[in-house]
């Protein structure tokens, strides 16, 4: 069975367990059921479709997964899709949570998300005055639970990015570090593509007159939307930092190449002096100035040494060496 938890609530208090049977899902006035599923089977979904009259299109999306965040209305039924995220090394792994919200039920279906809602359920049950608001407040709790997991991811990525920025200023980046920068940048861009639709979902929940959403609960969705916007804003800042790291790394590499080029040019100029003089005296002409002079060899060496020393001092002063 993939039923993680299924309980009936009345006046903010858990009253009994609700097995997926017609008798177990029978509700009295003033009660609602919160069912949590993880990768459910077709048979389990069929039971919920028969009991709560879930729309076929929403059920198809919930079973197929691979959906972007959205909110859809089917009569008195709300269907909400949210995306979960988890950081593994330098990559982000995404999951999905699909939520059916009706007047007397909340059905949450998780795909690929390792974070169970047990802690969330315990937290909401500890606040019966809030849970008394009904299924719409449970929906808020689920979305808030998902969005709260975004901030630690951004904190972790921010630490990595700032570490890379400092590393760029202290030394040249290796090929592995440059690959890591590209990986982080790509993952941040993917994450921002998730946050945009999440903002739209929360915007609709807080501003539109939707079924099953009490006006008193709308401010709670606005609070969750503010969290998503803050995370999105921080991601934008991290993207700017990554871009600056790339620019700084590129400028430092150009500077290093310029230094190497100047050094090579300086040493080439110094070595050109003995090469040129040796080349002239190596042409084996019979009549050359000072060819038979007793001290000609030492004089040529002295001239070569003097010119090379002068060039070395000159290049040293201009910081080419």
Q: What is the pLDDT of residues 137-159, one digit of tens each?
A: 999 999 999 999 999 988 888 88
Q: How confident is the model at residue 290 (pLDDT cuts 50, 70, 90)?
A: low
The pLDDT of residue 286 = 66
Averaged confidence pLDDT in the chain: 85
Report the C-alpha gap between 74 and 192 in whole angstroms. Answer: 28
- Whether the CB-CB separation of 124 and 141 falls below 8 Å is answered with yes
> In the chain, what are the domains?
3-252 (3.30.460.20), 256-318 (1.20.58.340)
317 has pLDDT over 90? no
Instruction: Report the distance separating Cα 232 and Cα 114, nearest Å.
Output: 23
Q: Can you give the pLDDT at residue 285?
A: 66
Work out the pLDDT band at 89, boundaries 50, 70, 90: confident
Q: Is the pTM of this model over 0.85?
A: no
Residue 1 pLDDT > 60: no
> 7-31 pLDDT, tens per residue?
999 998 999 999 888 888 888 888 9
pLDDT score of 144: 93
- Exposure of 49 by Cβ count < 10 A (0-12 exposed, 13-18 middle, 19+ buried)? middle
How confident is the model over 247-264, as pLDDT tens digits? 777 777 777 777 788 888
């Amino acid at each position: 069975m993939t039923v993680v938890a299924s309980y009936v609530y009345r006046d903010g208090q858990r009253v009994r367990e609700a097995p997926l049977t017609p008798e177990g899902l029978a509700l009295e006035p003033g009660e609602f059921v919160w069912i949590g599923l993880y990768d459910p089977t077709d048979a389990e979904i069929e039971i919920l479709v028969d009991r709560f009259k879930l729309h076929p299109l929403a059920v198809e999306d919930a079973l197929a997964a691979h959906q972007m965040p959205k909110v859809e209305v089917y009569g008195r039924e709300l269907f909400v899709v949210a995306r979960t995220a988890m950081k593994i090394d330098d990559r982000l792994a995404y999951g999905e949570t699909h939520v059916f919200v009706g007047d007397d039920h909340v059905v949450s279906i998780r795909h690929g998300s390792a974070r169970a809602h047990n802690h969330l359920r315990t937290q909401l049950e500890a606040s019966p005055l809030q849970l008394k608001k009904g299924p719409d407040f449970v929906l808020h709790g689920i979305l808030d639970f998902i969005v709260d997991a975004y901030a630690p991811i951004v904190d972790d990525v921010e630490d990595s990015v700032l570490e890379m920025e400092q590393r760029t200023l202290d030394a040249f980046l290796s090929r592995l570090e440059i690959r890591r920068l590209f990986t982080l940048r790509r993952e941040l861009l993917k994450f921002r593509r998730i946050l945009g639709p999440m903002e739209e979902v929360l915007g609709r929940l807080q501003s539109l007159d939707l079924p099953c959403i009490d006006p008193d609960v709308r401010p709670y969705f606005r609070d969750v939307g503010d969290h998503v916007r803050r995370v999105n804003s921080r991601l934008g800042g991290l993207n700017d930092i990554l871009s600056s790291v790339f620019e700084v790394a590129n400028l430092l590499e150009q500077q290093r190449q310029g230094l190497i080029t100047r050094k090579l040019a300086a040493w080439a100029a110094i070595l050109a002096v003995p090469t040129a003089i040796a080349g002239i005296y190596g042409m084996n002409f019979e009549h050359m100035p000072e060819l038979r002079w007793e001290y000609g060899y030492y004089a040529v060496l002295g001239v070569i040494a003097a010119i090379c020393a002068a060039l070395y001092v000159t290049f040293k002063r201009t910081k080419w060496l």
